[in-house]
Amino acid sequence: MLDIKLIEQNPGEYKDFLKRRKGDPAEIDSLLEKSKRRRDLIAKTEELKAKQNSVSKEIPNLKKQGKNTDELMAQMTAIKEEIKQMEVQQNSAQEAVDHILLRLPNKLHSSVPTGTSEADNKIVRTVGEKRTYSFKPMAHDDIGTKLNVLDFERAAKITGSRFCFLRKEAALLERALQNFMLDLHTQKHGYEECLPPLMANQASFQGTGQFPKFTEDVFHIEGMGYHLIPTAEVPVTNFYAGEILDEAQLPQKMTAFTPCFRSEAGSHGRDTKGLIRQHQFNKVEMVQFVHPDKSYEAHEELTLHAEEVLKQLELHYEVAILCSGDIGFGAAKCHDINVWLPGQNAFREISSCSNFEDFQARRANIRFRPNGGGKPQFVHTLNGSGLAVGRTLIAIFENYQQEDGSIHIPKVLQKYTNGLSLIKANK
């Protein structure tokens, strides 16, 4: 959530960034109008309370003098009722301000390029080389179906579209990937592993910015007030919600493997085949809570941690800075990591690494107490996929496929697959 005081000090700056994000600058005018009404009501309420205080002091003095206080008592009753009504209006005005604030996206870092779509994203580096083949590479779903390790038809029979059974070596490889990623992040990159709830309440979703703007993207559990998490970002970021850390405790780095659940409400007709866009998928998430002065240094570090997974798997990829028209709602800056898929002859996103600055911390009220005392400040939060496990499996299927339909397993994973080095064709 944005700081209303900063918006009031420089509304033009916020209108400009909203334009860059393809938003409506008139939202700022509406916000300022509602904020002024809220401030006016607060001022009137304070005036009434001051008057109430003055009258309350006058009454005992008159009583001591033996004078009649009926008129002042009636005045006190009227003031009390007026204050009550003012406070109702004040709460309503605050709700109107919050309604807009909760729907305004984060401001953008100065290094974010201006653009309208992913075509305007800026590629900052490309790592590795495309593999060459003496045959036409197949898509992962065709490979997996022929190997009898991906079963979309039976999953559709049980639930519907955008689900899959991973069988035999595919299930083993998925498990190997998640263990490899967690070991890398905990043993080499210094993250604390956690296993969070797969459901979260509305306040948690609001804290990370999914609610109220993106409620349709989430599966809701009727009658309970809980929602299935679309990413471990939701529960892990809210781990410190409402708390004040000591500066000495920063940074905090946490990683979690979870299934993720997404309705894909806005993806009708997109990626209907294969594992690219599923209602349920597995992901390893990295979350950091850092000092505001160090968040962009941490953002680069976080991105490198995600890249390291692909480097060890020897997969070709690119890193892009998302432009103003493609960046996510809550991010001040975002790096997308796109892995090369020869079966699609295209790069596809496998990780998004975002710096939210204090946007999420302000919503979730996560603060730290500076060394030497002083007023608590909001931390900066960051998160990134490290990686999306299913999409990493896709990348291995397509990049490590052989002409006979078999799949080599990357060497770094073989200690997690009980030494299995090849998913053989014609089993």
Q: Report how far residue 338's alpha carbon sits from residue 321's, in angstroms, rounded to the nearest whole number.
A: 11
Q: What are phi and psi of 287, to 5 degrees?
A: -130, 135
Predicted confidence (pLDDT) at residue 246 exceeds the cutoff of 90? yes
Residue 382, classed as helix, strand or coil, is strand
In this structure, which amino acid lies at residue 307?
E
Phi/psi at 129 (5° precision): -130, 155
By DSSP bridging, strand 380-388 and strand 280-290 are antiparallel
Q: What is the rounded average pLDDT of the residues 244-249?
A: 98
408 conformational bin, left if phi > 0, alpha if psi -120 to 50, beta if neither: beta
Pairing of strands 422-423, 226-228: unpaired
Write out pLDDT tens, residues 57-95.
Answer: 888 877 778 777 778 888 889 999 999 999 999 999 999
Whether the per-residue pLDDT at 427 is higher than 60: the answer is no
Write out the catalytic residue numbers: 262, 277, 349, 352, 391
Q: How do residues 377-395 score in pLDDT, each as one tens digit?
A: 999 999 999 999 999 999 9
* Cβ count within 10 A of residue 410: 19
Q: Which of 356, 20, 22 is nearest to 210 (CA)?
A: 356
**Both structure tokens of 340:** 């090369």
Instruction: Write down the pTM of the prediction.
Output: 0.92
pLDDT of residue 72: 82
Mean pLDDT of the residues in the chain: 95
Q: What are phi and psi of 123, to 5 degrees?
A: -75, 120
Cβ neighbors of 43 (< 8 A, separation 6 or more) are none
Please tell me the distance from the alpha carbon of residue 124 to that of residue 324, in angstroms, as a whole number.
16
Q: Which pLDDT tens digit goes with each residue over 296-339? A: 999 999 999 999 999 999 999 999 999 999 999 999 999 999 99
Q: What is the CA radius of gyration of the chain?
A: 27
What is the rounded distance in angstroms from the CA atom of residue 315 to the CA atom of residue 80?
70
